[in-house]
Structure 1
Amino acid sequence: MGLSVIVVNYNGELYLESFFESLFGALSDFKSPYEILVYDNNSTDASTTMLDMYYATHDNIRLFKNADNIGFARSNNFLVKKAKFKNLLLINNDTRIIDIRSIINKLNDVKELDKEIISCQILNEDLTVQQNIFSFPNISRLLIQLFLLKNLFKKIVKQRSKSKVLSNCYFSGCFIILSKTLFEKVGGFDEDYFFYHEEADLFLKMEKHNIQKIIFDDSKIVHYGGGGGPISEFAFRNYFISLYILYAKHYFKSNRYVLQLLFLISFYYRYLLIFMGIPFNPSPLATIYKGQLQTINSRSFLKKIHKTTLKEILKR
């Protein structure tokens, strides 16, 4: 029995107050003991002070800090190893729980989840629905993403319907409940991923163990997705480097040079669009987080983030 809540923080000052307030409220209905494990990745904002305050005033919070940012995957793996209880809630710090009573009731009825992976309905800040069910990667989806073709193939890349949730898909990593046994059985998150796509990799590994994926539509959280602003250089670079790692690991094991060639051609195609002044949204998150719909117009910024990202990919 019991629940270990796993939270990774990096500069989460804007979200922590509503995050903890909603989390404590949701867990008030939980009938077993719980703990909240927080890992701070060398934050540079006031979130470090806020975490110290929560740690000092709540006995069930366990706080860990590092002098370096070791990434999302490694931080989660570290916390899971420290977890006392058999069931895990992996939740982002930029979320706010609205109502997860149906999930709490499910957890109250079981000692340990077996092969169930549980998530909920995820909303944007304005309470519109945010995508939480994603098809597993394949070559066609990679090409659509790299060459900015999503608007031409909306029927292919549209959100999966709930009726298909049990096959060929994964959930957003911002809210996942599963057993510690299953998480450790598949080796946890692959630590080659610094940020982004680690949940897709995790689900691909768990898929081999006959898991049951469950969405509780009557349980809801808000996911701010980093605040909804234009994508940063950090996010852009790590998104595409992790995308490369994901496909290199699962689809191009013996011919990574082909994958690198695809990235090279697609990024030079983007250079051409930038040179010709043809606007495009560089954020791969724009179709997920409603707040990321605006385009970054600075040509110099677009050139920079594509150049530095491609350089790192071609070195791998």
Structure 2
Amino acid sequence: MKKYGFIILNYMDYYGTIECVRSLQTEINKTLDSKNTVILIVDNGSPNDVGTKLTFYFRKSKNVEVICNSENVGFARGNNFGFDYLKRNYNLDFLIVMNEDVRICDDNFLKNISKLYLETKFDVLGPDIISRKDNSHQNPLRCNSLSLNELKQWKNVMEKQYEKYLIFYLKNCIKKYIKSSNLTNKYYTKVLDNIVLQGSCIIFSKKFINDRKYLFYPQTFMYLEEDILDYECKRDNYRVVYSPKIRVEHLEDVSTNITFKNNYNKEKFKLKQMIKSANILIEYEKRDL
């Protein structure tokens, strides 16, 4: 029997994380023995004591564990903290990393992961991710990687936006610049190889788990983790697959909406972190040249 692990990174979202875990437990109970699954909640230094509350809430759940970071170390390092824990304590066949605002909407989600592995031998797998905001399909994020020159140009666009504080136009600017030439909505219906996956739900198979010291490049705080993962997978010859045969729903920005009470500050924070991550990826790629 295959062993499945989940990492759910939480920041301040008590009720959303509980709902996420409950949906996972419902799916697990339909198809598998709970002994073959482990759900790990990583609280990323929530200042509202959510980690302690979640530990108490799930204290009697046999396949749910909660570990707490002492501070918010960001998306990459928070997930890496959970990855290190699971790798040391469990011999997993598959690891599903998902935001607390993701909900499974397939009856055979876990069994289909195993079937897709037999068909494709993926190292990294992305499901069809459906936004609850507008019913858009968020995977694949892009069909083509950004070249180093494209990445530099994108960073320059973001820096100009930040300098002028045109934060409310950030999303439209980025989507127009990146997605219009790389991705149209029709691609979500196809099985695709070696594309850039959206980061709210990513599945890793055993070889990737065993090979790697970390899941996500640990230097970023938030954003562009998918692009760095894409770069590393292409460099190291890991097979990345997108498949519409498994589906999840994504509520989007729940933790950031809790953290920031107005859209202006939220978008300004996101833009600043994207610029930082773009600089990190640019330097990373330059070192490999």
TM-score scaled by length of structure 2: 0.74
Structure 1 counterpart of 2:7, one-letter code: I
CA distance 1:44–1:153, shift in 2 (3 Å): closer
Q: CA deviation at 1:43?
A: 0.4
Render the CA deviation track for 1:53-80: whole Å, top value 9, x for unaligned: 3321312112111221122212222212
Matched, 1:191 2:218: yes
Segments of 5+ residues of structure 2 without an aligned counterpart are 158-172
Alignment-derived partner of residue 261 in structure 1: none
Q: Is the 8 A contact 1:36 1:62 kept in 2?
A: yes
State the structure with bigger RCO (CA 8 A, min sep 6), 1 or 2: 2
Within 2, Cα distance between the matches of 1:233 and 1:149?
14
Within 2, Cα distance between the matches of 1:164 and 1:156?
20
Pairwise mapping of residues 35-46 of structure 1 onto structure 2 (< 5 A)?
35-45=38-48
Pairwise mapping of residues 1-316 of structure 1 onto structure 2 (< 5 A)?
1-13=2-14, 15-32=16-33, 33-45=36-48, 47-83=50-86, 84=90, 85-99=92-106, 101-107=108-114, 114-126=121-133, 128-133=135-140, 134=142, 135-138=144-147, 139-140=149-150, 142-144=152-154, 146-147=156-157, 148=173, 151=176, 155-159=180-184, 161-162=187-188, 163=190, 165-167=192-194, 169-188=195-214, 189-207=216-234, 208-226=236-254, 230=263, 231-250=266-285, 252-253=286-287
Segments of 5+ residues of structure 1 without an aligned counterpart are 256-316
Within 2, Cα distance between the matches of 1:66 and 1:88?
20
Helix, strand or coil: the match of 1:137?
coil
CA distance 1:241–1:141, shift in 2 (3 Å): closer
Q: CA RMSD in A?
A: 3.1
Q: Is the 8 A contact 1:115 1:182 kept in 2?
A: no
CA distance 1:155–1:30, shift in 2 (3 Å): same
Q: CA deviation at 1:218?
A: 4.9
Q: Is the 8 A contact 1:86 1:179 kept in 2?
A: yes
Helix, strand or coil: the match of 2:125?
strand
Count of matched residue pairs: 252
Q: CA deviation at 1:166?
A: 1.0
CA distance 1:110–1:153, shift in 2 (3 Å): closer
Structure 1 counterpart of 2:5, one-letter code: S
Helix, strand or coil: the match of 1:28?
helix
CA distance 1:9–1:218, shift in 2 (3 Å): closer
Q: CA deviation at 1:102?
A: 4.6
Q: CA deviation at 1:238?
A: 1.7
CA distance 1:242–1:159, shift in 2 (3 Å): farther
Q: Is the 8 A contact 1:30 1:108 kept in 2?
A: no
CA distance 1:123–1:106, shift in 2 (3 Å): closer
Within 1, Cα distance between the matches of 2:174 and 2:109?
38
Quote the sequence identity (%): 20
TM-score scaled by length of structure 1: 0.68
Within 1, Cα distance between the matches of 2:154 and 2:267?
22
| Bigger Rg, which one | 1
Q: CA deviation at 1:91?
A: 0.7
Structure 2 counterpart of 1:172, one-letter code: Q
Q: Is the 8 A contact 1:71 1:195 kept in 2?
A: yes
Within 1, Cα distance between the matches of 2:138 and 2:243?
12
Structure 2 counterpart of 1:13, one-letter code: Y
Structure 1 counterpart of 2:277, one-letter code: S
Greater helix share, 1 or 2? 2
Q: CA deviation at 1:225?
A: 2.8
Helix, strand or coil: the match of 1:68?
coil
CA distance 1:128–1:211, shift in 2 (3 Å): same
Q: Is the 8 A contact 1:100 1:220 kept in 2?
A: no
Q: Is the 8 A contact 2:45 2:70 kept in 1?
A: yes
Structure 1 counterpart of 2:237, one-letter code: H
Q: CA deviation at 1:186?
A: 4.1
